Amino acid sequence: MTATPHRERSTLRRLREDWWIYLFLLPTVVGYGAYTVYPLVASWWYAFLDWPGFAMRGTFIGLANFKLLWHDDLFWNAFTNSLVFLIISVPLRVGLALALAIVLNRPSTPFRGLFRTLLFLPVVTTGAIVGVVFTLILDADGPVNLALVKTALIEEPVNFLGNAGTSLYSAIGVWVWKWLGITLIYWLAALQTIPHELYEAARIDGAGPWREFRYITLPLLVPFLLIITLIDMVGALNVFDLVMTLTGGGPAFSSEVIEVYIYRTAFQATVPQLGYASAAAVLFGLLTMVLAVLQAIGVRSVRRGMAAR
């Protein structure tokens, strides 16, 4: 008996036979296209327009928006604030979540389920509501200041959100608190992939908790670290709802991140500037991409250096 030779199906035949797959994919593709791809591409075009918000359409002005933007101090202020937010909040969230995950992964830790739930609860709250509530919690008369003054850690209440020196860092703290739970879940899932036998073997060889972490846990978590960090970085660039309700970008633009800058330019200016705001979004995206590429080059050369040794 000879086997029937496998023939490649033509594209048309594939489409005909698997049409139902594409039908099920259609809602997602249409939704993604309409609400993600289209606005993204449209904003690239709008960036080249002079478009007051009350007009139906804009006028093509080439790179004029980008030229103005390049010299706009408030754009660079917002860009810097976004970078600071990213650089501080992501390692904090990733590192703290990892530490908590390791503790909560130990069978000996009591009430693990309860702590996991409590840490995850803020994740399911709405960012805008969290912002509003924390304006009261971090108030000069709020419970945080009350506790700090009563425990003599500070003498006078600190206006966390009303002080240009602390507003951005307060926003970072609230954001980390809100999203810590989801990163914790990612790490817990990652920790389940490490075989227990490795730990048993290490203990037989006399390894303590630190050496277990250093030589078993950490190396095996590196792939997850890259993915989780990337997810958290994306989250750190989407903080509009929280910052808007917490500080409004103030005081004195000290906590104005790029999304708030874009929103203010697009909707709150005397003459709303949709083209200019789009240019800000595009330029920020390009600059972030440049930084990401530089970072990737840096990481690769460090790895090459380590491999060479």
Helix axes 167-192, 73-105, angle to 10 degrees: 40
CA dist 189 → 83, 89, 196, 222, 300 (Å) = 29, 22, 14, 14, 27
Q: Does 155 bind another protein (CB under 8 A)?
A: no
Q: Does 219 bind another protein (CB under 8 A)?
A: no
Nearest to 9 by CA among 31, 101, 18: 18
Q: Are the C-beta atoms of 249 and 238 separated by less than 8 Å?
A: no
Q: Are the C-beta atoms of 243 and 249 separated by less than 8 Å?
A: yes
Instruction: Please pick, from the candidates 173, 250, 287, 288, the single residue that binds another protein as defined by CB under 8 A.
Output: 250
* Type of residue at 188: L
Return the number of the residue (87 or 269) whose C-beta is nearest another protein.
269
Return the number of the residue (248 or 285) whose C-beta is nearest another protein.
248
Q: Does 252 bind another protein (CB under 8 A)?
A: yes
Length of the chain: 309
Instruction: Please pick, from the candidates 34, 40, 41, 55, the single residue that binds another protein as defined by CB under 8 A.
Output: 55
Query: 258: burial class by Cβ within 10 Å (0-12, 13-18, 19+)?
Result: buried
CB of 4 to another protein, least distance (A): 10
Q: Which stretch binds another protein (CB under 8 A): 97-105, 225-233, 248-256, 287-295?
A: 248-256
How are beta strands 59-60 and 49-50 bridged, if at all?
antiparallel
Instruction: Please pick, from the candidates 5, 7, 141, 306, the single residue that binds another protein as defined by CB under 8 A.
Output: 141
Contact track, another protein, 12-51, x by CB under 8 A: -------xxx-xx-xx------------------------
Kindly calculate the radius of gyration of the chain based on its CA atoms and give it in whole angstroms: 25
CB of 97 to another protein, least distance (A): 28
CB of 55 to another protein, least distance (A): 5
Instruction: Please pick, from the candidates 103, 118, 230, 269, the single residue that binds another protein as defined by CB under 8 A.
Output: 269
Q: Which stretch binds another protein (CB under 8 A): 88-96, 115-123, 138-146, 225-233?
A: 138-146
Residue 283 and residue 193: Cα distance in Å, rounded? 40
| Interaction site with another protein (CB under 8 A) | 19-21, 23-24, 26-27, 52-56, 74, 135, 138-142, 157, 159, 161-165, 246-248, 250-254, 267-273
